[in-house]
C-alpha cells in the first residue's frame, strides 16, 4: 500500500509574522500621510479664511480711492465732493472715522434708484461680541445724497482684529496724515496724488507685526480758482 505525500509547502510562522509586520508598517505610513494631508488642508483653509477679509478690504479700499470724486465748489450739503483723511466725524456714523470721501462706486438697482456717487467712510469700532482682540473695521455707505434730511447709513463690517488704520495723502512732496478739502481756505483743496493705507493687525500673541500697506495712485482733475470766460469775441 502506497501513501501519497503532499509536497506543497505552507507558510511558516516566521513568514506570517514578517508579512504582518510589513503590512503594519505600510498601513502606518499610509495613515501618517493621510493625517498630514488632512492637517495641511485644514491649515490651508484657515489661512484662506483669515486672508479673505483682508483681501476684500483691500479691494474695496482700492476701488473707492480710485473712483474718488474731485472736489467742487458746489453748494449742496452732500454733493460737494469733499475728501477728508485723519481723525474725523461724519453724519450718521459712529466710531473713529479715519477717511471720508465721495466716490463713484455706487451700483444701481431696483432698491437703489440713485446715482453712482455715494458717500463712504472707513472707521474703527469696538469689537463685537466674541470677535476677539482688536477693533472692527467698518465701511459705512450713504447713497441717497439728495434726501431732504440726513440719508440713512448702511454699515458694512469689513474685518475683525484691527489694531489701527492710518490714511495718508501724498501732495507731491510728502505724505500728509490729515487731508481736508471741505473748505476753500484749506491747504489741500484737491485730491491727493496718491493715498497710503496702513492697517495694523492684532497679532495672536499680542505682538503685532508690520502693518499691511496699500498705496493707491489717484488720477483726477485739480480744482483751481480760475473763472472761465464764456464771452465770445464778435
User: To the nearest whole percent, how much of the chain has pLDDT over 70?
Assistant: 76
Cell 487731508, located at residue = 179
d(CA 225, CA 193): 19
**pLDDT average, residue stretch 6-27:** 80
Q: pLDDT band at residue 33, thresholds of 50, 70 and 90?
A: confident
**pLDDT average, residue stretch 56-79:** 79
Q: Parallel, antiparallel, or unpaired: how do β-strands 135-142 and 153-170 relate?
A: antiparallel
Going through the chain in order, the beta strands assigned E by DSSP cover 83-88, 96-103, 118-125, 135-142, 153-170, 175-176, 179-180, 194-201, 212-217
| pLDDT for the residue 137 | 93
Q: pLDDT band at residue 226, thresholds of 50, 70 and 90?
A: very low
Instruction: Output 124 or 181, whichever has higher pLDDT.
Output: 124
> What is the tens place of the pLDDT at every residue in 105-159?
888 777 777 778 899 999 999 887 665 678 899 999 988 777 777 778 889 999 9
**Average pLDDT of the chain?**
79
Lowest mean pLDDT among 18-27, 65-74, 146-155, 224-233: 224-233
Neighbours of 112 (CB within 10 A): 14
Judge whether 138 and 158 are in contact, CB under 8 Å: yes
User: To the nearest whole percent, how much of the chain has pLDDT over 90?
Assistant: 28
| pLDDT for the residue 184 | 59
| pLDDT for the residue 214 | 94
Q: For residue 137, which of 53, 38, 49, 43 has the smallest C-alpha distance?
A: 53
| pLDDT for the residue 232 | 46
Q: pLDDT band at residue 71, thresholds of 50, 70 and 90?
A: confident
| pLDDT for the residue 233 | 45
Amino acid at each position: 500500500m502506497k501513501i501519497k505525500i503532499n509536497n506543497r509547502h505552507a507558510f511558516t510562522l516566521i513568514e506570517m509574522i514578517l508579512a504582518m509586520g510589513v503590512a503594519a508598517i505600510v498601513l502606518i505610513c499610509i495613515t501618517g500621510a493621510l493625517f498630514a494631508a488632512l492637517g495641511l488642508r485644514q491649515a490651508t483653509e484657515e489661512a484662506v479664511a483669515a486672508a479673505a477679509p483682508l483681501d476684500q478690504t483691500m479691494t474695496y479700499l482700492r476701488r473707492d480711492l480710485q473712483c474718488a470724486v474731485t472736489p467742487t465748489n458746489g453748494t449742496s450739503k452732500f454733493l460737494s465732493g469733499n475728501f477728508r483723511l485723519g481723525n474725523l466725524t461724519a453724519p450718521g456714523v459712529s466710531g473713529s472715522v479715519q477717511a471720508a470721501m465721495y466716490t463713484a462706486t455706487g451700483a444701481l438697482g431696483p432698491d437703489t434708484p440713485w446715482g453712482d456717487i455715494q458717500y463712504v467712510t472707513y472707521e474703527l469700532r469696538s469689537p463685537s461680541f466674541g470677535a476677539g482682540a482688536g477693533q472692527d473695521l467698518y465701511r459705512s455707505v450713504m447713497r441717497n445724497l439728495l434726501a431732504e434730511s440726513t440719508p440713512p447709513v448702511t454699515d458694512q463690517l469689513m474685518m475683525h482684529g484691527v489694531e489701527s488704520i492710518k490714511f495718508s495723502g501724498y501732495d507731491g512732496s510728502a505724505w500728509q496724515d490729515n487731508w481736508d478739502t471741505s473748505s476753500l481756505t484749506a491747504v489741500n483743496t484737491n485730491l491727493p496724488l496718491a493715498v497710503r493705507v496702513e492697517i495694523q493687525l492684532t497679532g495672536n500673541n499680542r505682538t503685532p507685526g508690520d502693518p499691511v500697506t496699500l498705496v493707491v495712485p489717484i488720477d483726477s482733475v485739480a480744482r483751481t480758482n480760475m473763472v472761465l470766460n464764456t464771452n465770445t469775441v464778435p
